[in-house]
Amino acid sequence: MSIEVKVPTLGESVSEATVGQWLKKPGEAVALDEPIVSLETDKVAVEVPSPVAGVLGQILVAEGETVTVGALLGTVEDGVAAAGNVPVAPREEKPVPPASDTVAPAAAPAPAAAAAPAPTGDDAGAAALSPAVRRAVLEHGIDPSTVKGTGKDGRLTKEDVLAAAQAKAASPAPAATAAVPATVAAPGRNEERVKMTRLRQTIAKRLKSAQENAALLTTFNDVDMSAVMAAREKYKDVFEKKHGVKLGFMSFFAKASCLALKDIPAVNAQIQGDEIVYHDYVDISVAVSAPNGLVVPVVRDADKLSFAGIEKAIGDFGKKAREGALTMEDMKGGTFTISNGGVFGGLMSTPIINPPQSAVLGLHRIEDRPVVRNGEIVIRPMMYIALSYDHRIIDGREAVTALKTIKEAIEDPTRLLIDL
């Protein structure tokens, strides 16, 4: 009996997705709840599990096509044990002459034929690849058998695939000349066109929308990191031994931000229609770099968490982002954002708010600079910090005061303990 596979509910305010990759071929055995297709939404990648045990039947939507919630993706033949014994797609024989990896996107006329997985999926080792790695392999056209894995037991990681893709782009690839008609091009002036992922398209739309709809302004300050660095150096070993997580700078800035947001509620508020919504809780969106772009999972009730709780939450989000395992629930909500461009060496920036939030704190690299203390020039580890805010709801005085509160709490961490 054929069981329909449909697009599941994707989360709040998400109504459509793009078919990223079919993880199984027609006729292949699937277990109950085993992922058979991945979907790319505006926020995260979602894997659709098999509703029953059996074999994959028809594939009705090709990779790269847009689907809405409830749309029919394909079928699973319930109770069929033998793979390849399904009266599904006699056209499976058609793709036998595999012209090249570049043919897959062009084979879209018939849904069943177009849905054939990328050629790399034929490798025996492909079954061992995680869904995140499969997506990276498909997106960059990398043959996994040619890449040495650095993960556990020699498994391939997404970073391995991205490194291989960079190496491939840096060297003259014969596939590029095969995909282009026989025209003579000047050496060293090749071009590559890659379709934007749904996540990247959404990032572009949201950032542009923030600039167009909000009255953005940025205020700056600098922070002497001496006290925080000394505290971290003194307690990092004991902290890690007790809590099983490293003590980083982000927990200090998160707690300092909570202090400032409680003092200046407008920085933690949002505009909804002609109303201002104030929150008595602090859900901090932490900007995390993922292979497909910047994502902002939410540390909920950060004002109630300990330093260890914040560090654990941020560490878990970073790992899930690298593995492509973030969920809709991880991304939902958020009242304030912290973005740390310092990990990439950034000295100063003007971060853009994450709508509908009204403010974002930008952190930057720490460097020794001469400053005046008690009438003397001394060298201190300094960091520029920036607060971008929506001037429609936050006045300049409030923004400057909030940033100054964060600065003072970092320069004197005792304030974090006595709520000052």
Structural domains for the chain: 2-179 (2.40.50.100), 215-418 (3.30.559.10)
For residue range 221-273, list pLDDT tens digits in order.
999 999 999 999 999 999 999 999 999 999 999 999 999 999 999 999 999 98
Q: What pLDDT was estimated at residue 89?
A: 43
What ranges make up the beta strands (E) of 179-224? 216-224
For residue range 285-341, list pLDDT tens digits in order.
998 877 666 788 999 999 999 999 999 999 898 888 888 788 878 888 899 999 998
Q: What pLDDT was estimated at residue 419?
A: 72
> Where does the pLDDT of residue 80 fall: very low under 50, low under 70, confident under 90, or very high at 90 and above?
low
Q: What residues are labeled active site?
A: 391, 395
Q: Other CB atoms closer than 10 Å to residue 78's CB: what's the count?
A: 15
Do 56 and 25 meet the contact criterion of CB atoms below 8 Å apart?
yes
**Angle of the 249-263 helix axis to the 307-323 helix axis, nearest 10:** 110
Cβ-proximal residues to 144 (8 Å cutoff; 6+ apart), any chain:
120, 123, 125, 126, 129, 133, 137, 156, 161
The two tokens of residue 361 are 């704190």
For residue range 169-212, list pLDDT tens digits in order.
766 544 444 444 555 556 778 888 888 777 777 778 877 888 88
Q: What pLDDT was estimated at residue 217?
A: 94
Q: Which residue has the higher pLDDT, 333 or 16?
A: 333
| Cα–Cα–Cα angle for 149, 287, 391, rounded to 5 degrees | 160
Q: What pLDDT was estimated at residue 58?
A: 83
Is the pLDDT confidence value at 82 over 50? no
User: Of all residues in the chain, what percent carry a pLDDT higher than 70?
Assistant: 79
